[in-house]
Structure 1
């Protein structure tokens, strides 16, 4: 969009100067949305009551661990969606807590003074603009210090809050993305291929290292002189043990890919202990683990210090 245009006569040339002023458009930042469970109307008593009323026989009578876990999910997740529904939330930039009306007023004055100096180009206007800028920077540093001292003083009895405030003072770590990966077969640029290459490397690194040690006797020798039982087996766990561990869960831990938070498991510990105990014991008896338990989100950390290595193996890049 052009706000102004015209023709200016120029004595240095036979041609006139044509000009146009274009209005700059501010580039909007990318809007980010996150999906999370909403606990605004969560009632633990009602949640526990609904779990108790459910029929858990499809889980308790199952002899296949995969079927048992799928049945548990089909019963448990709909109840979670009722009491703590998943909602999409827009993530916006929050205004710092130290900003007050005095700072906002001085910032507006500073912007007007700079705009005036750019138009007039007079030294006294530029001096006034610099004075207001320095005053604004001084006020910002003062307000930041006061806000941080206040937050640290208020969180002395809260170790979690104190550490959270102290981390804001530490320099943040820069995150870098991988656009390509050098392997023995060539350069990999596709994101899926990079992930599969890293996954294959770490899945086979143990076998490759073990193959380098040949002729080693792996027989276990008892040097203590006492008799030991060579047999080994897993024991079934009890419902009381599962209930105890569910009540110890930290509700502030991150939710996994199944959208089942530790808070919901802890809140429904009483009715959930029996079906979960059956699933755990069934897994021990059959020697299998539900396939959905093996799914995880892996984020490789880029090792910047080893970029100059000549070895193309991914092990030197991660």
Structure 2
């Protein structure tokens, strides 16, 4: 099998806004190629416009999704249109708005505005002109450009105009000159075995701000992309080619030495404390230095976003060979290699999804495979950085509970049990019914920690389930003492209340904190006592029939299926009773 190193184009070296256009000719079939191009390109392309996407209402945004990018699209709705789309990098999402008011009904176009406080606003447009367009198209184009020019802003226009500027075209040159635009591409953009034409153009009214115009030999379609760099300042969180992650390294981890150090640790000191907070802090002060010594925290640079798991080195290498063959104008070999790339993509996808389902036949893995096949996996939990500071998120989430309580007219100081709830409890509970939490045993704590999934997310302490399980024989007794002390004193250790909060977007608009829901990841050490209390509280409710029979959430042997079954039974009974 022929392979080659992953392609690295290094086309856009200057800092600024990096913009490109490509006639993709059927986007849905080219998403792997576009994903590879956008994720491998360094530095990244901020805006990539695509023409001839051939998308319609049946094709969702998820079907063309690429990590780190969101999309604007204009699908073909009438004869002569072929569809446009723009991939916009998440780093400029907060300063990018669509300008539908500038888009013409007669000229297939997409316009966005890039507005940053430290640079003049820029209007970026993407155009497709059908080769069958009549002379009326030129008049409509001028009407649209007059409206754009009236904004008195910088203009950058890219697209497939199907006008070959490798030959003299005085009528078209006078047309774009009327609105003060200059064309900057000077190399053929569509190369076949018989023709070399320059039909993909870049226009601007500020040549001094446009740099690094290039036409890379990428064989994604029969057109080459056109790329350029616009000089402007971007937000500080704009990508610099990598992101950073924190993790515990086990490179020099020695299990025997780790267990020896744990066995010698003075965990007995925990028993000298009668306050759960003090006891828990003492346990942390003993345990943390040991794991920091054997599995220290490290920061790692991740140069590129994660590519789709099925996009293997063989596929990327085959794409590089395809591009090279087109560059060398070996068109017969290029067509064969292009078909081979398509076949490799299909085979790689099939092999990955077969492996995903066959290795673990659980329902969750089957859904994961289905979501990845349909490109719908984790679209709201990607690595997009919201344009909101952590302090704003913290303030919003910390005051959320108080705000909700005040809106309902009660607080923790003046909570009043509702009459309905009081009557229910009065009927179900006996006068001597009291709920109490029994103490935990060493077996309870050990069983809970042993059953933790190894891939469970860690809290602020970065203690993983693997380390807890490994050290379990030496830490289970002092932990049991702390949990029982917490039950006895009715105090939950403060350190176990501190969560790592991750804001997940509920909608596409990332500008408002209300559009996020917080996911709180507590330390793993909070789980044993949490589950112990839950177990006995649920038992108390069930024995006294305090839970509604209609409640299916958060109950064993209940689910959406049981709720729907009950509803269907009620509906069928009502139908049979002519109700």
TM-score band, normalised by shorter chain? 0.5 to 0.7
* Whole-angstrom distance in 1 between the partners of 2:266 and 2:457: 29
Displacement after TM superposition at 1:315 (Å): 6.3
Does residue 155 of structure 1 match 2:354? Answer: no
For residues 51-92 of structure 1, what are the alpha-carbon distances to aligned partners after superposition, in whole Å with 9 as ceiling and x for unaligned?
222212321111122221121111101111233232333335
- Does the alignment pair 1:273 with 2:472? no
Aligned counterparts of 1:59 and 1:91: Cα–Cα separation in 2: 40
Conserved 8 A contact 1:51-1:268: yes
Cα 1:211–1:270 shift into 2, 3 Å? same
Other-structure match for 2:452: 249
Structure 1 residue 258 displacement after superposition: 0.5
Partner of 1:143: 347
Unaligned runs of 5+ in 1: 2-11, 13-18, 118-124, 180-188, 308-312
Residues 1:32 and 2:231 aligned together: no
In terms of mean alpha carbon deviation, does 234-243 or 254-263 score higher? 234-243
Give TM-score, length-normalised by structure 2: 0.40
Return the alpha-carbon distance in structure 1 between the equivalents of residues 320 and 264 of structure 2.
61
Indicate if the aligned counterparts of 2:250 and 2:294 stay in contact, CA closer than 8 A: yes
Residues 245 and 301 of structure 2 are in contact (CA less than 8 Å); yes or no, is this contact kept in structure 1? yes
Q: How does 1:18-97 map to 2 (within 5 A)?
A: 30-93=241-304
Q: Which residue of 1 aligns with 2:403?
A: 204
Give the paired residue count.
Answer: 277
- Deviation, 1:295, is 1.3
Change (3 A) 1:163 1:201: closer
Please name the residue that 2:486 is paired with.
283
Superposition pairs for residues 293-312 of structure 1, below 5 Å? 293-304=496-507
Structure 1 vs Structure 2 CA RMSD: 4.3
Q: Counterparts of 1:215 and 1:109 in 2: how far apart (Å)? A: 72
The secondary structure found in structure 1 opposite 2:300 is strand
Q: Distance in 2 between matches of 1:162 and 1:144?
A: 18
Q: Bigger CA drift: 22-31 or 138-147?
A: 22-31
More strand by share: 2
Q: 1:132 deviation in Å? A: 4.9
CA contact (8 A) 1:237 1:277 kept: yes
Task: Check conservation: 1:98, 1:143, Cα contact below 8 A.
Answer: no
Aligned partners of 1:197, 1:109: CA distance in 2, in Å?
A: 51
In the alignment, structure 2 segments of 5+ residues that lack a partner are: 1-10, 12-169, 171-185, 187-210, 215-226, 230-238, 518-579
Return 26-35 or 271-280, whichever deviates more.
Answer: 26-35
- What's the counterpart of residue 310 of structure 1? none
